[in-house]
Amino acid sequence: MKRRWRCWLAGVAASAALTCAAAPSGDGPRLQPLPPPARVNAALAEFGRHLFFETRLSGDGSRSCASCHLPEKGFADGAPLSRGYNGTEHFRNAPGLLSVRLRPRLMWDGRHAGGDLAGVAREMALDAQFMNGDAGIIAERIRQIPPLFSLWRRAFGEQAELRGEQAFEAIAEYLRTLDFGESAVDRALRGEAALPPLTEEGLRLFTGRAGCVDCHHGPLLSDGQPHRLGVPEPPAITREPLRAISLLRHNAERGLPHPMNERGDVGAYAVSKNPAERGSFVTPPLRGLARTGPYMHNGYFASLEEVIAFHDRGGGPGSELKPLALSARERQALAAFLRALSAPLPPSALMSPPPVYDYGSVERTP
């Protein structure tokens, strides 16, 4: 693909420097700064913030959304494979949630449309592998916890009917408030600052010869499409029975023809049933990488250097990737650029979690 050099004039104090990045010709994929914050219903988002940390949405009152999405970890959990509900374990990595409102597809296999945050919140709260909740019980628990009931009234009105589905709407609204902070790359893309030389070299590689921008573009650096990279299966999925059972259950729920015959994560194929998508996973966003490792859909790689080396050699068996033949300095430059995509945690991530509320007297709405 032909590429042309696209330049941004970056100024620092009284001096100015020219920062250039390769972008595909015409209207091809390119990097973009983050858009302005979403406009949200403040009362609904605050109700959702409290519910995000509330363990009593789960069946036994032990787990909340924040159990797998810790603010200090960029709303990921820092583990290769996420924990499941008590008595289960999961077979995929918990993704970070910052700027999740901008993702074209949700979940590693893309089974939810990007705007369906309430649907994802519902699935996570009710699925037996995650929180094992019940919508009716969730509504009753909100009713029995006076501070939550007060927040619900403020969000939905005195005359509304309390329903469990409203909890998922509220959590979705809270998720729309979670955005990445501004990074050095954003400032460079706007022409307000220059990147350090090694980072700028990584940017040129990313958008040029290495071809990373073909799949990692837009404000989150993700095309939202499934791709097969041949990432190895973690031994834990076959060695730990609870994870293997969760995988088999998932395959059966998604309607695979012979779910018990599958011993690996088939990715988007379980959703689409398209054989071409077997072993494919949605391109992850690249912002905030410094806090959201381990990496890939199954947390197989512990460091960015390992991820870059994997891409450099063309991925694993059946991969769509082509070897890049990068030099040691070029790999360092790409790592420097990827780290420059991380920014200080936003204020939303630094807020103290809501207190644990006691049950109170039960109020009934008409």
The SS3 call for residue 42 is helix
| pLDDT tens by residue, 160-169 | 999 999 999 9
251: nearest Cα among 242, 239, 262: 262
What are the residue ranges of CATH 1.10.760.10 in the chain?
3-23+185-340, 42-179
The SS3 call for residue 106 is strand
193: nearest Cα among 7, 10, 337, 6: 10
Task: Compute the residue count for the chain.
Answer: 366
Domain 42-179 class, CATH top level: mainly alpha
- Alpha carbons 239 and 178: distance in angstroms, whole number: 36
What letter represents residue 295's amino acid? Answer: Y
Contacts of 198 (CB under 8 A, 6+ apart): 332, 333, 336
Q: Would the pTM of this model clear 0.75, i.e. be above it?
A: yes
- How many CA within 13 A on the CB side of residue 322? 5
pLDDT (tens, 9 = 90+) of the chain, 366 residues, equals 333 333 332 332 222 332 334 344 446 789 998 999 999 999 999 999 999 999 999 999 999 999 999 999 999 999 999 999 998 999 999 999 999 999 999 999 999 999 999 999 999 999 999 999 999 999 999 999 999 999 999 999 999 999 999 999 999 999 999 999 999 999 998 889 999 999 999 999 999 999 999 999 999 999 999 999 999 999 999 899 999 999 999 999 999 989 998 889 999 999 999 999 999 999 999 999 999 999 999 999 999 999 999 999 999 999 999 999 999 999 999 999 999 999 988 887 778 889 999 988 655 544
| pLDDT tens by residue, 15-37 | 233 233 434 444 678 999 899 99
Contact 176, 45 (CB under 8 A): yes
Is 3.90.76.10 the CATH classification of the domain at 3-23+185-340? no
Intra-chain end-to-end CA distance of the chain, in Å: 64
- Pairing, β 280-282 against β 226-228: antiparallel
Mean pLDDT, the chain, rounded, equals 90
